[in-house]
Structure 1
Amino acid sequence: MNIRMIRLAAKVCGPLGLWITLSGCATAPLETSGSLVAYNNLKPEDGVTTKSKLYVDKAGVLTARSIRIVPTTFSSLALKAELSDKQRRVIANAVDRSLCFGLSDRFQVVPMGEAADLSVHVTITHLTVTDAGLAGASKVASIAPNFISGGMPIPVPRIPFGMGSLSVEGEAKDTNGRQKAAFVWARGADFITSTPRVAASGDAYDLASEFGTDFSKLLVTAESPFKKTLSLPSAQRMQSSLGGKPKYAACDAFGRSGLPALVGGKMGAPPEWNDDAKPVASTQ
């Protein structure tokens, strides 16, 4: 099986001209589902690899001190993607977990059912699944050169076919249901920075965390997440991302992935193998 994967990788990646003519990035539409209160205030605001439209009431967001996360849902269109219920659960949960860790930098995150200055909800509007076979071929192709080089790491681009994408929309509303921020976001996996996972859910899972990071930056700063220069994650976010106790107990509703999920991702394992997306017991 591994030999077939290596041959497939060689066949696809062989001609140098192929890399020049391909964009190397999966296409993701800026899809909407009607879940937002309003769309008329949205303005285009793209990142390097991300398409988006956003709106933020700067004063309304910056005066807020507490926030509640309503669990992410799938639109009827996104539900058509060929994923298992568990795969959908880990993707949606990855959005909420990443969002919770990021929001904790400024907001007090409270559990569902408690009063908060803002409530935030995200809807996954479109999803393209990853071709698990091609992802596996990419992973094998990235490992093979290390044997030739005697263990020295050699960067190998991913096979630019069968990559997944994710389109999402989210908003933050005040206690009266008025929209204070809205974000429509779309991004596809790319053949340089995206790590292939051997699962249909692979790229969407990783992109879900990227969206959570971008949306939390929008709400923490009340500015476009794409205008900020690169900066290191906060200490609390690093601790939470590595499986440590989060700053606010409300984030434990979305579980702790930690090092096993991180290592599994680097090895190309399906997200659902190392992330059960289950809440952490309140006694922990």
Structure 2
Amino acid sequence: MPFRSKLYEMPPRAALCVVLVSSVSGCTSIPLGEGASLGSYAGMTTSGGTLTKAKLRVEAAPVLAARTARIVPTSVQLRGGSTFDSKDLALVSNTIDRTLCTGLSDRFEIVGPNQSADLVVHATVTNIIATNQTAAAGSTVASIGATVALPVPIPRLPIGLGGLAVEAEAVGSDGSQKAAMLWSRGANMITTRARVSEVGDAYSLSSAFASDFSRMLVKGRDPFKGMPSMPSMQRINASLGGKPKYDACTAFGRAPGVTGAVAGRLGLPPRWTDKGATAPQ
């Protein structure tokens, strides 16, 4: 009997469990490798979660003592070169910056590019696995068509899933590295919504990386350990497209908000709703 037919015959809770279990194997594997942008790769420990691969180090005392932070726009240094559209890459890197700025605003005062800061934060995209646009379109059509009939999430097609790898560090005012992270995650069948764009999955995953890295700096510890906390009101406001807490964050533009969420559900390319940075990066 086809998998989907079996789901229809199950109670909703049982069907949901089957979908979630199947999604664990239905994900892209993306290597966790060193790039060339960090001041040091020494002393990192393996971390991460169920879906995320990570290595990190953080000096808790100086990070927690810091009060101001400056974000250097994210760079793109893809292993083996790039065949992606430059505008699409700019959206991925800017989403990292925008999410970093929002996340760090929970504890730090974010200052502009010409101001001194206790911590200078910089990320580099090192690898992107392209999303297969045909498979993403098929997944979107199937999901929209089945949503009304089946009250559980419909997994994506387990082909053509994309991925993202990023590395980042925070450097103190003395020029030494205070925190660093290598991070990679592949899209999966259930939690990464399909978007018809070569960078659709990388775009979706970019905010996940930035949330993990900013949480490490805000808490001064491994962000993958401990219980997750509720998002602050300023983060909720920013995610809905509201004005950021600090003026320095306006350079990265506003999140697409509700319009972007609807576009994501429809599988539309990120560039249709995300206006990107407001200032040259």
Compute the TM-score of the two structures, normalised by the length of structure 2: 0.89
Over 3 Å counting, the alpha-carbon distance change for 1:192 and 1:146 in structure 2 is: closer
Q: Please report how far the alpha carbon of residue 58 of structure 1 lies from its aligned counterpart in structure 2 after TM superposition.
A: 0.5
Size of the aligned set, in residue pairs, is 266
**Residue in structure 1 matched with residue 240 of structure 2 by the alignment:** 242
Sequence identity percentage: 45
Q: Distance in 1 between matches of 2:237 and 2:80?
A: 32
Identify the residue that residue 60 of structure 1 maps to in structure 2: 62
Show structure 2 runs of 5+ residues with no match: 8-20
The 1:20/1:207 distance shift into structure 2, 3 A limit, reads: closer
**In structure 2, what is the equivalent of residue 121 of structure 1?**
122
The separation in 1 between residues aligned to 2:165 and 2:36, in whole angstroms, is 14
CA deviation string 1:98-119 (max 9, x = no partner): 1110000000001111111110
Out of 210, 213, 218, the residue aligned to residue 212 of structure 1 is 210
List runs of 5+ in structure 1 lacking aligned partners.
1-10
1:232 Cα deviation from its structure 2 partner = 1.9
Change (3 A) 1:21 1:75: closer
Name the counterpart of 1:269. Answer: 268
Matched, 1:166 2:164: yes
Amino acid corresponding to residue 64 of structure 1 in structure 2: A
Separation in structure 2 between the aligned mates of residue 95 and residue 79 of structure 1, nearest angstrom: 20
| 1:103–1:21 CA distance, 2 compared to 1 (3 A) | closer
**Is the contact made by 1:215 and 1:225 (CA closer than 8 Å) also made in structure 2?**
yes
Task: Give the Cα separation in 2 of the matches to 1:101 and 1:12.
Answer: 41
Residues 134, 161 of structure 1: 8 Å contact kept? yes
| Conserved 8 A contact 1:255-1:277 | yes
Read off the aligned partner of 1:182 and give its amino acid letter: A
CA deviations over 1:256-279 (Å, ceiling 9, x no partner): 022222221122111111112122
Aligned to 1:222: 220
Partner Cα separation in structure 2 for residue 40 and residue 226 of structure 1: 20
Which residue is equivalent to 1:259? 258
Instruction: Give the letter for the 1:271 counterpart.
Output: P
For residues 28 and 115 of structure 2, the distance between their equivalents in structure 1, rounded to whole angstroms, comes to 39
Q: Distance in 2 between matches of 1:21 and 1:62?
A: 37
Residue 15 of structure 2 is matched in structure 1 by: none
Q: Which moved more, 1:20-29 or 1:202-211?
A: 20-29
Q: 1:15 to 1:133 in 2, by over 3 A?
A: farther
Q: Could you tell me how far 1:46 is from its partner in structure 2?
A: 1.8
Q: Distance in 2 between matches of 1:107 and 1:53?
A: 24
- Sort the Cα spacing of 1:108 and 1:12 in 2 relative to 1 into closer, same or farther, 3 A: same
Q: Is the 8 A contact 1:78 1:127 kept in 2?
A: no
Query: 2:193 is matched by which residue type in structure 1?
Result: T
1:85-108 CA distance string (max 9 Å, x none):
110000000100111100000000
RMSD: 2.4
8 Å CA contact 2:23, 2:188 repeated in 1:
no
1:236 & 1:58 partners in 2: Cα distance? 24
User: Which residue in 1 is equivalent to 2:40?
Assistant: 38
CA distance in 1, matches of 2:253, 2:81: 23
CA spacing shift, 1:20–1:59, aligned 2, 3 Å:
closer
The question of whether the paired residues in 1 share the 8 Å contact of 2:23 and 2:189 is answered with: no
Q: 1:78 to 1:72 in 2, by over 3 A?
A: farther
1:74 to 73, 76, 81: 76
Contact map agreement 1:44 1:52 (CA 8 A) in 2: yes
